[in-house]
Structure 1
Amino acid sequence: MSSHLSSFQIVLTRAEKQQSNASRLFKEAGITILDLPALEINSPNNWNPMDKALESLNSFDWLLLSSTNGVEALEKRLTTVGYGLNTLPPNLKIASIGYKTSLALEKLGYMSDYIPPDFVADSLVTYFPASNIDIKILAIRVQNGGRTFLAEAFREVGVKFIEVAGYQSNCPKTFPKKTFEAFITQEVSAVTFTSSKIVQHTCRLLEKLFGTSWREQLKSTAIISIGPQTTITCHKWLGRVDAEANPHNLEGLVTASLEVLNQKSTKFI
């Protein structure tokens, strides 16, 4: 444990109910964390499109999951059409984007047939293991927002790409008091971001609390991103990124955070 880092505080932005593993990793590294739930996960407005797609799973070649939320939504709705993850059609293969997504599947007793090497959506298209473009893919995605890159890329080469909403993500209405006070007193050393949507919601929460001058609360705070798309969003909303995780997972985020805090630490020696 790096005891000299304990005086620095990092804000972990996250989705509701999804901080336990991240919190553990940061604490094990000796980093003092502040909590900031910036994403509420709710059911989509209408389950019918997803239920109808699941009823015709035999017609699909691949099932694409890009988040743990998608995995949870899938498991929840499969029971309504008489399936379970362990009783899927034998011809159906599963592609998972990201280590957390594949791990969520594994915990439910099912293995991914394909995981892109870079854990990001762009590499899924590049390395997708289907030699025949005459295939049909079902993707479980967020209802509101999200990238359209995958749908456009697959459809461009003739793949039948069907997307259905499995969940929606909303901005919370509350802000933890301890985290708010740390921003007020300029005691936040860094903020970590794990998705583009979380970046957007965090910025909206800060603007709600601090008004048009909300960026002033971050002037001495490092911005740390988990991956390329999150980095792009950070540049768009915050104007900068001070570090990006490599690899693009929680372990890489911890490593990037340690590097940033060590740089800050040397300035005071």
Structure 2
Amino acid sequence: MSLPLSSYRIWITRPAAQAGYLSESIVKKGAEVYTLPLLSISPATDQSELNDALSRLVQFDLAVFISPSALNAVFAKLNSPWPKDLPIAVVGPGSAKRAAELGAKRIICPPTQFDGEGLLQELGAQTGKKIVLFRGNGGRDILPAGLSAAGASVTVVTAYQRSAPTLDVSEIEYQLQRGCDGIVISSSEAAQHLFNWAGGETRLKLQCALYFVPHHRIAEALQANGANHIVQTEAGDDGITQSICRYFAPVLSPKE
């Protein structure tokens, strides 16, 4: 029996350090994977904010992490175990999985709506709470503003730096010629980087490509750049893989 993604070629655009599990999952379903990181992740330019927050973790009632990259950046700098009484809140299953891998025991994650709004709803009132929020440079303000409105005192920390990668037009053209049956885009920023870079015939080809995205905001960013062949997937790496498999599953003819 052939695997559900046999003969398909899927592009994964996650940052390099976050692409492994999803790539392996899709390869196990039979696809060929091409990795094209559309975000570069590096340490925060100024480490003083992060160092200060880590020196007084025990003073906080809750730590919020925007992404797996935020978790990686913070846990890489820890000089002692994570405080056992300090719960970790995340916006989606990918971050929840990474937090568990790093040894976190108390993890809060929305059950269905995997974004800042979903986490705010899950957390509810935070009157008098001290919350530290770890994110990349220039993140959305929905969570800090929402937590403050819920009564918390919020310390926002830039834990890592996001930047646009340097893309090679000849390499992308070569990969398009080799085949592109679908492109997984995991953030609106990554979608914007792709189309900020692409011009001419390459841009037209990318506008005609099929995209798999786990959130409607990413679909909106793609549509704003002229891409309209978009499938919204389930959240998390397993959900994305399952959604891609369902999309490409052959339609069985009814029995005569």
- TM-score by structure 1 length? 0.82
**Counterpart residue number, 1:106:** 100
Amino acid aligned to 2:241: V
What is the aligned-residue identity percentage? 21
Q: Distance in 2 between matches of 1:5 and 1:139?
A: 39
RMSD (Å), alpha carbons: 2.6
Cα pair 2:9 2:179 within 8 Å, conserved: yes
Q: Distance in 2 between matches of 1:173 and 1:50?
A: 27
Cα pair 1:65 1:96 within 8 Å, conserved: yes
Q: CA 1:261/1:181 → structure 2, altered by over 3 Å: closer, same or farther?
A: farther
**Counterpart residue number, 1:137:** 131
DSSP-derived class of the 1:37 partner: coil
- Say if 2:195 is the partner of 1:203: yes
Amino acid aligned to 1:254: T
Q: CA 1:26/1:38 → structure 2, altered by over 3 Å: closer, same or farther?
A: same
Cα pair 1:222 1:260 within 8 Å, conserved: no
- Say if 2:243 is the partner of 1:256: yes
Per-residue CA deviation, residues 101-147 of structure 1 (Å, 9 max, x unaligned), is: 2222222222233111123221110111x55521111001001x321
Q: How does 1:59-208 map to 2 (within 5 A)?
A: 59-79=59-79, 83-85=80-82, 88=83, 91-118=85-112, 119-128=114-123, 131-143=125-137, 145-175=138-168, 179-183=172-176, 185=177, 187-205=179-197, 207=198
Q: Distance in 2 between matches of 1:155 and 1:231?
A: 29
Structure 1's unaligned 5+ residue stretches are none
**Counterpart residue number, 1:30:** 30
Q: Distance in 2 between matches of 1:5 and 1:57?
A: 45
Amino acid aligned to 1:195: S
Amino acid aligned to 2:240: L
DSSP-derived class of the 1:251 partner: helix
Cα pair 1:231 1:241 within 8 Å, conserved: no
Which of 231, 240, 245 is the aligned partner of 2:228? 240
How far 1:56 sits from its partner (Å)?
A: 2.3
Q: Distance in 1 between matches of 2:4 and 2:151?
A: 55
- TM-score by structure 2 length? 0.86
